[in-house]
Amino acid sequence: MAWWVVFALLIINKAGGLIYNRTFAPGLQKLDSNDYLILAGTFHGIHAISRSINPAPLAERLPGNRKPPTTGIESLESSHFRLTCFQAPTGVKFLLVTSPEQPNTDVVVRRCYELYGDFVMKNPFYSMEMPIRVEKFDRALGGYLVRP
Amino acid sequence: MAGASVYSFYIFDRHTECIYTKRWTGPQSIPQKSTATNALSNGAVPVSVKRAMKAEDDAKLIFGTIFSLRRMARQLGGKDDQFLSYRTGEYKLHYFETPTELKLVMLTDTRVGNMRTVLYQIWATLYVEYVVKSPLAPTEHPRGVGVANELFEGGLEKFIDSIFTPAQ
């Protein structure tokens, strides 16, 4: 199943800053870290816009006349890759770039969130909203996403 | 595609201007109620004007979104990569760009599959036939002049109806 490829994982904090960025397989353009930072910021903005241009008829109002929450971009397709975005309730976004044929990307990205919870959040030396430099997290992700 | 619905359709020209907008309004009882109460609280702007302003703003936001996503797709996937669509929990946006940088955007239900061929057909069989080949239409369409003619509107309506209503 060589065509199922996970190209990269990006983690964006709730303020739109890139806190983790790793490529697992070649196939994407080579970008320097500055370009990835810009990309993360851009995506953060577009994600917010995509919530406000929702054309679907509004669902029932929540108690207190509040608008029901909208999700923002969940997946994006281009001719070369598919980007799956998972936003955790705390506002952290996980962007998984895969080949367009990769199935069950939402399951894969949730598993990455679990690993983040296990190895980053439970690490007492990690400071919130800062770039993730946790060796165990790297190793766990590598073991999960890199295909032998 | 039984039961699926289309929300709106936009055409942007190469000068980033929205030259055509069409919205299909479904059963929308809840938002209308809320706009009516809003109009009472700040009576300066009538509801119809407000709605038109909202539509114009939406078109600008959609252009900004597709412009950035298109650049992002090129940045990640290489020069020949094309942005195709994105999906949120509520709707799906389909995108098609012609070689002349005319951009066609359609917002639909999330259950709808790939609409690239449909957008291509709208461009090839409707836009080119009825707008580009029209002797009365100008070459450029500032503020949408010459796009929304009778033949194009009718053709688009019929085409979308044929796709989104179940065949009897």
Q: Looking at chain B from residue 66 to 105, which residues have their Cβ under 8 Å from any Cβ of chain A?
A: 68-69, 72-73, 75-78, 80-91, 93
> Contact A78/B73, CB-based, under 8 Å?
yes
Cβ neighbours of A31 in B, within 8 Å: 75-76
What order do you get walking across the sheet with A6-12 strand by strand?
A: A18-23, A6-12, A93-98, A82-87, A73-78, B83-88, B92-97, B103-108, B6-12, B18-23
pTM of the model: 0.84
Q: What is the CATH number of the domain that holds B76?
A: 3.30.450.70
Helix %, strand %, coil % of chain A (to 5): 30, 20, 45
Q: What is the ipTM of this complex?
A: 0.87
pLDDT on residue B30: 42
Least confident span in A57-66, A130-139, B92-101: A57-66
> What is the distance between the alpha carbons of residues A92 and A14, in angstroms, rounded to a whole number?
5
Which residue is associated with the tokens 């070649």? A26
- More confidently predicted of B99 and B138: B99
Closest CB to A75 among B68, B73, B87: B87
**How close, in Å, is residue A122 to chain B by CA atoms?**
30
Q: Report yes or no on B10 lying in a domain.
A: yes
Query: What does the pLDDT look like over A30-47, one tens digit per residue?
Result: 888 999 999 999 999 999
Cβ neighbours of A42 in B, within 8 Å: 68, 72
Q: How far is CA B160 from CA A134, B53, B110, B118, in A?
A: 52, 26, 16, 9
Kindly state the tokens that stand for B33.
């109620």
Q: In this structure, are residues A118 and A6 in contact, taking their beta carbons and an 8 Å threshold? A: no
Which residue is associated with the tokens 């969940």? A74
In CATH, what class is A6-52+67-145? alpha beta
> What is the distance between the alpha carbons of residues A4 and A81, in angstroms, rounded to a whole number?
11
Mean per-residue pLDDT, A129-133: 93
Total number of domains in chain B: 1
Which residue is associated with the tokens 């389909």? B94
Range of the domain at B63: 6-163
> Which residue is closest to B28 within chain A, CA to CA?
A57
Mean pLDDT of chain B: 83
Q: Report yes or no on B1 lying in a domain.
A: no
Q: In this structure, are residues A106 and A94 in contact, taking their beta carbons and an 8 Å threshold? A: no
Closest CB to A74 among B28, B61, B89: B89
- The string over B62-79, giving b where at least 16 C-beta atoms fall within 10 Å of a residue's C-beta and e elsewhere, is bbebbebbbebbbbbbee
Closest CB to A70 among B23, B62, B89: B89
Instruction: Compute the C-alpha angle B143/B146/B152, nearest 5°.
Output: 120
pLDDT on residue B36: 47
B146 band by pLDDT with thresholds 50, 70 and 90: confident
Least confident span in A116-125, B31-40, B123-132: B31-40
Q: Which of A80-84, B54-58, B131-135 has the highest mean pLDDT?
A: A80-84
> What is the distance between the alpha carbons of residues B85 and A75, in angstroms, rounded to a whole number?
9
Q: Report yes or no on B61 lying in a domain.
A: yes
A14 band by pLDDT with thresholds 50, 70 and 90: very high
Residue A57 burial (C-beta neighbours within 10 Å; 0-12, 13-18, 19+): middle
pLDDT above 70 for A1: no
Percent of chain A with pLDDT over 90: 67
Q: Report yes or no on B168 lying in a domain.
A: no
Q: Report yes or no on B147 lying in a domain.
A: yes
Closest CB to B107 among A28, A55, A70: A55
Mean per-residue pLDDT, B141-162: 86
Query: What does the pLDDT look like over B21-74, one tens digit per residue?
Result: 998 875 544 444 444 444 455 556 777 777 777 778 889 999 999 999 999 999
Which residue is associated with the tokens 């809003």? B38
> Contact A78/B23, CB-based, under 8 Å?
no
